[in-house]
């Protein structure tokens, strides 16, 4: 098997959070020992509730901020230190797409000019070749060259996100991190934009890290899905298999709340207890206060992510084959 294009090994990142003006500073473990690998041309979907560490993982994998611990490798090489020439060369192979296309675009410039910008900055081709590339990119995202003359304010949300996508693709990246790329769009056009992304991915052999709290959207595009809870991956496996047979009680609750299209839910699992608070992560399994199946051990021992058959890994004491690490 070819080595993964992108690989994160046990990355962690904490932030100091101060409560009140003279309050004590507490550490928020945004990401805690996350490992993942994405094969070339594949999509890893990252799901989990707000505050589970998805965006932080995305920023670290992109080299936008360094991990406190652990390492990211891109094309087999460690990510270079931010700001160095080697880092810029690696970063040129990667792009990020955010939730809000209007925030990512300059309202004062025609969108065609904004798609051309990365080509101008990197001095790619002659001016005429750059213009042709902009037309080509507009067609690739199913718009017309005429759209290039418009300003962001004169486009719909879905069209704006297509422009952001065209600009991200201008320099022919290998890897895209998409952080909630369709969450701000009407439900009716979310599927169209995700389909377009999937088509472009196949044509251009793009590798994607696709972050979303919406399982329907993740199901549409991912080969592999990782579920995060308070900074840790609690379950990871092939998308079809994971959605069909979730093992972790948290994944089971998420999947039960988002049944596959055309299939009736077998009964929604409603989680009790408070929503997760990253500043006060429970001891043991961080999910145990909300877990319908928790036993005494779950409150004291942190379950580690362990293979449970197939290519599935689960961090749960109640799942056969899963293991335990010393209480953290
Ligand atoms: N720069 C930062 N400074 C301080 N705390 C941060 C910073 N970035 C993230 N955090 C904290 O780390 C935790 C994880 O945040 P992150 O944005 O990665 O979550 P997320 O899963 O992307 O959530 P959402 O679904 O709301 O986007 C949160 O508690 C957040 O407040
Ligand atoms: Mg986020």
Query: Mean pLDDT by 10-residue block, N- to C-terminus, for the chain (328 residues)?
Result: 89 87 81 97 95 96 94 94 88 90 94 95 90 96 96 95 94 95 90 92 95 92 96 97 95 86 66 80 94 94 92 92 49
How many Cα atoms are found within 13 Å in the side-chain-facing hemisphere of 158?
Answer: 15
| pTM metric for this prediction | 0.92
Return the CATH number at 253.
Answer: 3.40.50.300
The residue whose CA has the least distance to atom 4 of ligand 1 is 15
Q: What separation in angstroms does the CA of 124 have from each of 65, 136, 171?
A: 27, 15, 8
Which residues are CB-neighbours of 121 under 8 A, at least 6 positions away?
none
CA of 328 from ligand 2 middle (Å) equals: 25
Compute how many other C-beta atoms are within 10 angstroms of the C-beta atom of residue 202: 10
- Tell me which of 145, 171, 197 is where a domain ends: 171
Q: Is 182 in a helix, a strand, or coil?
A: coil
Please identify, by atom number, the ligand 1 atom nearest to the C-alpha of residue 13.
12
* Sign of the four-CA dihedral 241, 246, 248, 251: positive
Residue at 88 is within a domain? yes
My answer on whether 121 and 62 are in the same domain is no
Residue 273 has a pLDDT of: 72
CA of 262 from ligand 1 middle (Å) equals: 34
My answer on whether 186 and 203 are in the same domain is yes
Q: Which two tokens stand for residue 283?
A: 């001891």
Distance in angstroms (rounded) separating the CA atoms of residues 100 and 89: 26
Residue 326 has a pLDDT of: 44
Residue at 101 is within a domain? no
My answer on whether 181 and 323 are in the same domain is yes
Residue 327 has a pLDDT of: 40
Number of domains in the chain: 2
Residue 20 has a pLDDT of: 63
My answer on whether 33 and 119 are in the same domain is no
Structural domain boundaries, residue 151: 108-171
Smallest-distance ligand from the CA of 230: 1
């Amino acid at each position: 098997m070819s080595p993964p294009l992108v690989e994160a090994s046990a990355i962690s990142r904490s932030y100091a959070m101060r409560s009140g003006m003279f309050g004590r500073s507490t550490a928020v473990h945004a990401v805690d020992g996350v490992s993942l690998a994405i094969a070339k041309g594949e999509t890893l979907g990252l799901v989990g509730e707000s505050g589970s560490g998805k965006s932080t993982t995305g920023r670290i994998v992109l080299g936008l901020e360094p991990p406190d611990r652990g390492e990211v490798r891109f094309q087999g090489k460690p990510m270079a230190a931010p700001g160095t020439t080697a880092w810029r060369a690696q970063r040129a192979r990667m792009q990020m797409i955010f939730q809000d296309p209007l925030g990512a675009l300059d309202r004062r410039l025609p969108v065609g000019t904004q798609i051309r910008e990365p080509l101008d900055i990197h001095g790619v081709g002659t001016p005429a070749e750059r213009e042709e590339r902009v037309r080509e990119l507009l067609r690739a995202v199913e718009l017309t060259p005429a759209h290039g003359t418009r300003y962001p304010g004169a486009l719909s949300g879905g069209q704006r996100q297509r422009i952001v996508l065209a600009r991200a693709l201008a320099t022919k990246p290998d890897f895209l991190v998409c952080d909630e790329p369709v969450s701000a769009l009407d439900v009716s056009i979310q599927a169209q934009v995700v389909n377009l992304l999937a088509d472009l991915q196949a044509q251009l052999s793009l590798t994607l890290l696709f972050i979303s709290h919406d399982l329907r959207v993740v199901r549409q595009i991912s080969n592999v899905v990782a579920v995060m809870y308070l900074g840790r991956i609690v379950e990871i496996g092939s998308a079809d298999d994971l959605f069909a047979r979730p093992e972790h009680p948290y994944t089971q609750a998420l999947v039960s709340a988002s049944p596959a299209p055309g299939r009736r839910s077998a009964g929604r699992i409603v989680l009790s207890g408070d929503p997760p608070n990253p500043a006060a992560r429970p001891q043991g399994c961080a999910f145990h206060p909300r877990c319908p199946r928790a036993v005494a051990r779950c409150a004291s021992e942190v379950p580690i992510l362990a293979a449970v058959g197939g290519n599935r890994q689960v961090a749960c004491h109640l799942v056969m084959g899963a293991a335990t690490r010393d209480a953290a």
